[in-house]
Chain A
Amino acid sequence: MALLRAEHVTHYFGGLCAVSDFNLDLEQGELVGIIGPNGAGKTTVFNLITGVYKASEGSIQLNGQELVGRKPNAITQMGIARTFQNIRLFKDLTVMDNVRIAYYNGLKYSPWESLLHIGRYRAQEELYTNKALDLLEFFKLDQFADELAKNLPYGSQRRLEIARALATGPKLLLLDEPAAGMNPREIEQLMEFILWIRKEFSLTILLIEHQMRLVMGICERLKVLDFGATIAEGLPAEIRANPKVLEAYLGEGGDQ
């Protein structure tokens, strides 16, 4: 059975059809890319999967369980985590707290225990603070543990967003333009990094990217969106040669 299955997913913003008849089968451990010109509906697909928007039509399932209609935190708890196109860290909180917030569902103690700092409070906080530090160390961010997230260099902020997403304990990771604002050398490192976390955390990854170099380099399969519709899908090599895809991108280039 597919880990994630989207069937006939369609979404309207008022009269605008942002996503139409989107279908996807993601197998455990796959790394799939979504590409397409600006405004194609890629981010909207992520927002539909994670419950930010409720799909107007269609069904999205994780391990056979329906996601449409659930709240984002419930979907996250089921094992889907994401990053954002424009970094959305908790800017005025420490790097440490950014990660600990993502452990929200891991920490098990009651409100009463939190008010009085009794019972399981201490042991749980200790456990998850250590987990957070280990995770930060893994991402070479531990030296920033006490720094406010907004004071981190750009690249580290991007990494922290991924670390924070992983703290929720996902099976499926959604990356929205992880290479945005990076130079070719950084992109090269990012590609290795993505493959490495996939192995270390046994993840399935779905990513959106404009950087062809990254997409062609690491994705096993691609889907191409244009004006909400899926215009092509297949192996990177096939997509590269697909005339429809070239047209969509060139058309966009011609407009600018």
Chain B
Amino acid sequence: MIMDNTPSSTSTPVSKGHALLERWKMRWDRIANNRKIFPIVLAVGFILSILVPKFGLVNEYVQLVIIYIGINIILTTSLNLINGYMGEFSVGHAGFMAVGAYVSAIFTTKLLPENLEAIYFPLVVLAGGIGAALIGLLVSVPSFKTRGDYLAIVTLAFNMIVKSVIENIEVIGGPRGIPGIAKLTTLPWTFFWTVLAILVIRNFVYSNYGRGVQAIREDEIASDLMGVNTNRVKLLAFTLSSFFAGVAGALFAHVLQFISPKVFDIIKSTDVLIMVYLGGIGSITGSILGATVYTVLLEVLRPFGMWRMVLMPLMLVLLMIFRPRGIMGLREFRWLIPGFDLYALKYWRAKKEVSHGTPAS
């Protein structure tokens, strides 16, 4: 679970460059192990998210990319809960995103007076999340009986149903969608929701229920036989996952400013899948990494036009061959592990040192 700091291979001849690398690695390890830095990073990040747009520290385009990175981190982390931690294969994440996007867009374009939109925006995003969570709760029911490929088909069907239902409701624009949505997704709000998603999902994973979720991935029958109420745990995981997919959808709608059913098709779900498997299953660090790398790569490769659509899947194929669990599969960066969970490790080390009589060096 914990990122290991094994020294790099010793077979390479010790050169100046190598020594330098070692020094950097040690420095990095010290930073990685100092968990007190984490809150500082969060505070600095939040202040920056306010200052950057205020003083135009980077141009509009870069700000937009950062917002997309945030939204993608929320999507990836929440899908990882199902596909990585629980080991199911949900391919309909865009369906939940659509629910969040539409619920929130209906609030801001149709229900709320224009001058209040910005003030109520956090509540609107919350409503989008809750709408998606309720649907997620429904979708979790087939997962009680169905597993693997069959559940994947259920989620696929769900994604298609959401799309066609929206297409057939004229009040919300039908296939034409909802245009003219106010641009309410700002950098600070994106930062806030991204951090919230990461921390809440992290908390869930490192709890009784989260351990139950992981036990289902390892061996569902054995976890049932060890007393884990698998239905309850699945329901919680699906609801939480879809809640944050809905939040991401709401943020997405209010940055894109136009949504239509076509935006939330299987291709969008596939994008999220690629980010999950790129970053690594069962890892929040991996989700952050996967979402960031993928979003940036898409932008960098933009000049290649259509070739981009060949290069990205190719990258995924290579990844699956050489690193099937993704960059960070089942490993976690220390900052993201709750302090208490490192306790067992500390306890064990302390005891070992006492019993061997070797002083801590």
Contact = CB atoms under 8 A, between A and B. Distances in A.
- Asked if A and B are interacting partners, one says yes
A210 to B, nearest CB: 22
B219 A145 contact: no
B359 interface: no
Nearest to A165: B226
Nearest to A80: B225
A125 B340 contact: yes
Contacts of A116: 200, 203
B340 A101 contact: no
A73 B227 contact: yes
Contact of A72 (B207, B211, B221): B221
B214 A71 contact: no
Interface string B217-228: 111011111111
Nearest to A149: B218
B212 interface: yes
Contact of A107 (B208, B221, B330, B340): B208
A90 B223 contact: yes
A78 to B, nearest CB: 10
A105 B233 CA distance: 12
A101 B230 contact: no
Nearest to B282: A92
A96 B236 contact: no
Interface in B223-244: 223-230, 236, 240
Contacts of B218: 89-93
B348 interface: yes
Interface in B258-286: none
B204 A73 contact: no
Interface in A195-225: none
A102 B226 CA distance: 5
A164 B345 CA distance: 19
Contacts of A76: 224-227
A91 B11 CA distance: 31
Nearest to A78: B227
Interface residues of A, number: 48
Contact of B207 (A102, A121, A126, A168): A121
Nearest to B212: A104
A19 to B, nearest CB: 19
Contacts of B345: 145-146
Interface string B318-341: 000000000000100000001010
A192 B274 CA distance: 52
A117 B338 contact: yes
Contacts of A143: 348, 352
Contacts of B347: 133, 145
A52 B223 CA distance: 12
A63 interface: no
Interface string B336-361: 00101001110110011000000000
A168 B352 contact: no
Contacts of A100: 208, 211
B209 interface: yes
A139 to B, nearest CB: 14
A90 B1 CA distance: 13
A233 interface: no
Nearest to B349: A146
Interface in A133-162: 133, 142-143, 145-146
A230 B219 CA distance: 31
Interface string A95-116: 0110011111101010100111
B95 interface: no
B200 to A, nearest CB: 5
A94 interface: yes
B128 interface: no
A84 interface: yes
A115 B204 contact: yes
A23 interface: no
A129 to B, nearest CB: 6
Nearest to B209: A114
B329 to A, nearest CB: 10
Contacts of B338: 117
Given A94-B1, A111-B236, A114-B208, A168 B221 contact: no
12 contacts: A72-B224, A76-B224, A81-B226, A90-B222, A93-B214, A101-B228, A103-B208, A105-B227, A105-B229, A125-B207, A143-B348, A146-B345
Closest 8 CB pairs of A and B: A114-B207, A90-B218, A76-B227, A72-B224, A107-B208, A102-B226, A88-B222, A145-B348
Interface of B: 1-2, 200, 203-204, 207-212, 214-215, 217-219, 221-230, 236, 240, 330, 338, 340, 343-345, 347-348, 351-352
